[in-house]
Amino acid sequence: MGEDPLALETRRRLYAAVERTPGLSAREIQRSAGTAWGETAYHLERLAVSGLLHRERGSHQDFYFCATLPLGDRTLLRVARSAASRRILVTLLESPDLTLAEIAARCELSLSRGSIHVRRLLATGIVSSGRREQLRTFVVADPPRIARILVAYRENYADRWVDRLIATFGEMFPP
């Protein structure tokens, strides 16, 4: 019989930080828990090996989630760490079937920056594309699920865009 992975105070603090704010990077967890870097890296690895945490590799850093969080939710929360991606999601929830130019204008993004984030959302399956005449348009693939998750984890993304989403959909998806 193995040792309880949460027997140590440091691991409990790290786990609590991830539980509070899923999708944090190791550095963000370190800051939140107030631990040293080596200590953080070691104990995060132990929590991942024990199966309590799941580590998702990003292009530049790893993101940590409680193992009980479903994969689709983890993907959304990881992508939604970007303020631009959140703005795009909220805009598409409010006004589906927009072109890239319309998204960029409404989200106060340049066309190239909007394109980068829309491609990322398409690659994860969170957003899908269609056609309006000769123009490519975009919609959120599962609006109720996306709205529910963004509202449930709104404290992770305290900004005016999520506040708009809560004003529109909050009563439908209580935390």
Q: Of 77-81, 90-94, 158-162, which range is least confident? A: 158-162
Q: Do domains 9-68 and 76-169 have the same CATH topology?
A: yes
List residues bridging with 128 in a β-sheet: 139
State the pLDDT at residue 166.
57
pLDDT in tens, 27-63: 989 998 999 999 999 999 999 999 999 998 877 788 8
* Domain range 9-68, its CATH number among 3.80.30.20, 1.10.10.10, 3.40.50.720, 3.40.50.11710: 1.10.10.10
Which H helix or E strand runs over 130?
A: strand 127-132
pLDDT in tens, 114-165: 999 999 999 999 999 999 889 999 999 999 989 888 888 877 765 655 555 5
pLDDT band at residue 172 using 50, 70 and 90 as cut-offs: low
The whole-number average pLDDT for the span 97-110 is 96
What is the rounded CA–CA span in Å between residue 7 and residue 1?
Answer: 14
Q: Write phi, then psi, for 23 (nearest 5 degrees).
A: 95, 10
Domain 76-169 adopts which CATH fold? Arc Repressor Mutant, subunit A (1.10.10)
pTM: 0.75
**What ranges do the domains of the chain cover?**
9-68, 76-169
